[in-house]
Amino acid sequence: MRIDVLTLFPEIFHSYLGQSVLKKAIERGLVEIYLHNIRDWSHDKKHHKVDDRPFGGGPGMVLMAPPVVECVEAVQAMADQPGHLVMLTPQGRKLNQAVVEELAQYPRLLLLCGRYEGFDERIRLILKPDEISIGDYVLNGGEVAAMVVIDAVIRLVPGVLGDEESSRQDSFSGPERLLDHAQYTRPRCYRGYEVPAVLLSGNHRAIARWRLMDRRRRTEERRRDLLESSTASRSGEGVRDEKTSKNSLGERGDAGLQPESPATETQEDSKQE
Ligand code: ADE
């Protein structure tokens, strides 16, 4: 996958691009990232100005259309395919894992980062970008948002994580888009908190069942909105029945969702280590 970042502050990306997962993906040729400074397309050859005061008055400065539009067009022409143009803006559609999956399908992405009070409206009208927001808050510019997009998208590029299963098991992934289940590692007991016995049982079916229940329970407790908008809720799966307060597994409340740990599994557990 090729990603071109169009920004007034390319240097912000340098340390991020050197971090382990991304660095390895770049070294292995799985991801190519190119940084372009919008200022290089400024019509002002002396001061490389790219912003101006808003017509009609108001605070701040607005990014001018000519340098931005011409920068995008020139960068599009740098490869065989123009790529999918993303504009990072708080006014865009909100980024979530489904949008990340959609973006990961493109062989080439152009990420356009704004600064100042925003973009001249003609940039949107001419370029018709896919406008994306990373959340309902205003950042000082699109650079951090672009890094968020890159970080989430490259996890889905085949080969980047080494183990494809690990991105498939991420929170928000899979048909139900559930949160991830709890994870434990050594020691088995810490300050009185034991690792659930089923995870030590070696019984892979029981572990898979426990993890699915834990994902559903956590999602119900923390992010009911995810269940309401997921395939699971459309088919009635994983959602608590309001009348019986049972979930789709027929269990009542938290108690019913405790991990299964039959005595045999607990005994086997001691053989495991
Ligand atoms: N630029 C400024 N705020 C932003 C946000 N929330 N998402 C994407 N780009 C932005």
Q: Whose CA is nearest to atom 10 of ligand 1?
A: 89
Ligand 1 near 33 CB (within 6 A): no
Q: What is the mean pLDDT of the chain?
A: 86
User: Among this protein's residues, is 262 annotated catalytic?
Assistant: no
What pLDDT shows up at residue 242? 37
For residue 155, give the DSSP letter: T
What pLDDT shows up at residue 27? 95
Confidence of residue 258 (pLDDT cuts 50, 70, 90): very low
Closest listed residue to residue 3, CA positions, set 67, 68, 86:
86
What pLDDT shows up at residue 24? 94
User: Among this protein's residues, is 90 annotated catalytic?
Assistant: yes
Check pLDDT > 90 for residue 149. Answer: yes
CA distances from 222 to 84, 199, 217 (A): 34, 23, 9
Give the residue carrying structure tokens 């979930």. Answer: 247
Confidence of residue 150 (pLDDT cuts 50, 70, 90): very high
Closest listed residue to residue 1, CA positions, set 107, 152, 99:
107
Check pLDDT > 90 for residue 20. Answer: no
3-state secondary structure of 91: strand
Burial profile 193-203: b = 16 or more Cβ within 10 angstroms, e = fewer = eebbbbbbbeb
Q: Kindly state the tokens that stand for 51.
A: 């912003």
Closest listed residue to residue 230, CA positions, set 252, 215, 249:
215
DSSP states of 166-234: HHHTSTT-TTTTPPPPP---S-SEETTEEPPGGGGS--HHHHHHHHHHHHHHHHHHH-HHHHHHSHHHH
Where are the strands (E) in 74-125, listed by range?
84-94, 108-113
What pLDDT shows up at residue 245? 39
Q: Whose CA is nearest to atom 6 of ligand 1?
A: 90
Ligand 1 near 90 CB (within 6 A): yes
**Adjacent-strand bridge partners of 119:** 63
For residue 242, give the DSSP letter: T
**Adjacent-strand bridge partners of 193:** 190
Asked if 40 contacts 72 with a C-beta cutoff of 8 angstroms, the reply is no
The pLDDT tens digits of the residues spanning 74-128 come to 999 999 999 999 999 999 999 999 999 999 999 999 999 998 889 999 999 999 9
* Most informative mutation of 134, 149, 151 for ligand 1 (most atoms within 8 A of CB): 134
Asked if 13 contacts 42 with a C-beta cutoff of 8 angstroms, the reply is no
Is pLDDT larger for residue 211 or for residue 170? 211
What pLDDT shows up at residue 168? 75
How much is the pTM? 0.83
166 CA to centre of ligand 1 in angstroms = 28
User: Among this protein's residues, is 54 annotated catalytic?
Assistant: no
CA distances from 37 to 4, 11, 74, 80, 264 (A): 11, 9, 12, 21, 63
Check pLDDT > 90 for residue 270. Answer: no
Is pLDDT larger for residue 254 or for residue 103? 103
The pLDDT tens digits of the residues spanning 162-187 come to 877 677 778 888 778 999 999 999 99
User: Among this protein's residues, is 59 annotated catalytic?
Assistant: no
